[in-house]
Amino acid sequence: MPGGAVGPVSAGNVFKTGLFPRQYLWAFILVTSLFFLWGFAYGLLDVLNKHFQNTLGVTTSQTTGLQAAYFGIGYFAFSPVAGEVLRRRGYKFTIIMGLCLYSLGAILFWPVAKSAATSTNKQAIFGGFVVCTAVIACGLSTLEVSANSYVSVMPPVSIASLRLQFSQAFNGVASFSGPLIASKYFFSDANSTDLTSVQWVYLAVSAMGMIVAVAFFFTKLPEVSENDLELELDQVPEHKQKSIWKETRCLTGALAQFLYVGAQVSIGALFLYYTHEGAGISDSRGSQLLSYALILFTVGRFVVTGLLSIFTAPTILFVFGIICTVVAILISTLHGMAGVACLMMIMFFESCMYPCIFTLATSGLGHNTRRGASIVVMGVSGGAVFPPMQAAIKDAYNARVSFFIVVPCFLYITCWAAYTWVLDGRQTFALKAKKVEQTADIESMSVMSADGKPEDVKTDIVTPNKL
């Protein structure tokens, strides 16, 4: 039975046993396509800041209004609504709703970009783009609440982190596509001073969203009910269901997600400013470097997918957190291409964080799983808080110094990874966890009664806390 009872510990060679049962194949493919959609939208967001500054004459701090709308309105304000819709109407309805909002926001870019050619009020045009971005973000937050949760609770739940890491890798594939398109269509000589190319790109984004929505409408999506989650969780010995607001692991995980996304978005949003100020790189070339950095991010997702078949999620999150902390300090202190190289490198090591934090934070929530998913996705609102703060530091000092702001974010994530490692039984190797689980099963099956006859025993579910 699918559910969130067992902690996200990878077990055995999943490349032989499979990531999910056969009947979930088409559902998994469709849901994974959603990760591509919001990765593409996010990849475009990072380069729109600089393009709007070039074409509309807004300041660096003003351009971060895109991030504020995207993460503040879309994720912080709308994620609880999406979580409640998911709890009441199920995965299929919620996903289609998210796709419709996503496509609506994208198509609205067309009239706003069209009016930019004749309007003299550039601030109003930029405000229109901020509204469009907010609508897109409402759709994307809905998709994140539903898709991340669905991939996590698919059976077997013991490899939830690995499976979500694999799906999120396609998010990375789409993320570097955005800057590549921008380097050709936004920053080229012919398009560097107008917004015509923006309307065509977002028209294609809207069409892509509607095609996927139609595919979901005609697909019978296997549902995972909260009753199933609760029944499986009830089989775990000594478990007591709590209010979602007393689930410390979930709430501290939401804070970890808040800090991670804040750091990730800040790194992406000020990437072009760092390359321009620190190394004298043009915006077109900087956009290409950002795309290459996001390719490293994507490669990191696939690499971590393999590593999760060997190491547990808390172990990988802890090690990568330490590395990100050190590299962030180097970004803030080095000059020239050395700093740019570190800026690109950090994206490889931060690649594991979102999926690992999500699955670790939502593990074992039972009937609170969907509500917990919406709270963790609310943590994505960190992307609305950190870019304006970093932009203010950049305006006061320089882009290089502003990157010190992400150092405490990675430090907290590292400490939280250690906390979940302790909660999950201090397991470092996923294969070791599998062997302990198999030993426990064998011992429970060989229990004998007092008269020497075999006795039927109901084997307990083995959780990371019991390993």
pLDDT digits (tens, 9 = 90+) for 118-137: 777 777 877 888 888 889 88
pLDDT at site 133:
84
Query: Is 50 exceeded by the pLDDT of residue 237?
Result: no
Query: Is 60 exceeded by the pLDDT of residue 257?
Result: yes
- pLDDT band of 196, cuts 50, 70, 90: low
- 188's torsion region: left (phi>0), alpha (psi -120 to 50) or beta? beta
Element (H, E) at 427: none
- pLDDT band of 458, cuts 50, 70, 90: very low
Measure the CA–CA gap between 33 and 213, rounded to whole angstroms: 11
- Classify residue 273 as exposed, middle or buried by CB count within 10 Å of its CB (0-12, 13-18, 19+): buried
| Better pLDDT: 450 or 377 | 377
For the stretch 35-52, pLDDT in tens is: 887 777 766 665 665 566
Those residues with Cβ within 8 angstroms of residue 312's Cβ, 6 or more apart along the chain or in another chain: 9, 10, 421, 424, 427, 428, 429, 430, 433, 464
Contact indicator for 444, 459 with CB cutoff of 8 Å:
yes
Measure the CA–CA gap between 275 and 309, rounded to whole angstroms: 36
Measure the CA–CA gap between 136 and 42, rounded to whole angstroms: 10
pLDDT at site 11:
44
pLDDT at site 127:
83
Residue 360 tokens, joined: 């670790």
**Which pairs with CB-CB distance under 8 Å and at least 24 residues apart come from 389-392?**
390/266, 390/269, 390/270, 391/60, 391/61, 391/63, 391/64, 391/269, 391/270, 392/61
Query: Is 60 exceeded by the pLDDT of residue 238?
Result: no
Lowest mean pLDDT among 33-47, 258-272, 283-297, 337-351: 33-47
Give the count of beta carbons closer than 10 Å to the beta carbon of residue 238: 7
Give the count of beta carbons closer than 10 Å to the beta carbon of residue 239: 15
- pLDDT band of 197, cuts 50, 70, 90: low
Query: Is 90 exceeded by the pLDDT of residue 239?
Result: no
Residue 196 tokens, joined: 């015509």
The mean per-residue pLDDT over the stretch 295-310 comes to 87
Percent of the chain predicted with pLDDT > 90? 21
Query: Is 80 exceeded by the pLDDT of residue 230?
Result: no
Q: Which of 230, 229, 222 is nearest to 3 (CA)?
A: 229
pLDDT at site 1:
27
Most confident of 24-33, 87-96, 379-388, 424-433: 87-96
- pLDDT band of 190, cuts 50, 70, 90: low
pLDDT at site 413:
97
pLDDT at site 161:
73
Superfamily of domain 18-229+248-428: MFS general substrate transporter like domains (1.20.1250.20)
For the stretch 3-19, pLDDT in tens is: 333 344 444 455 555 67
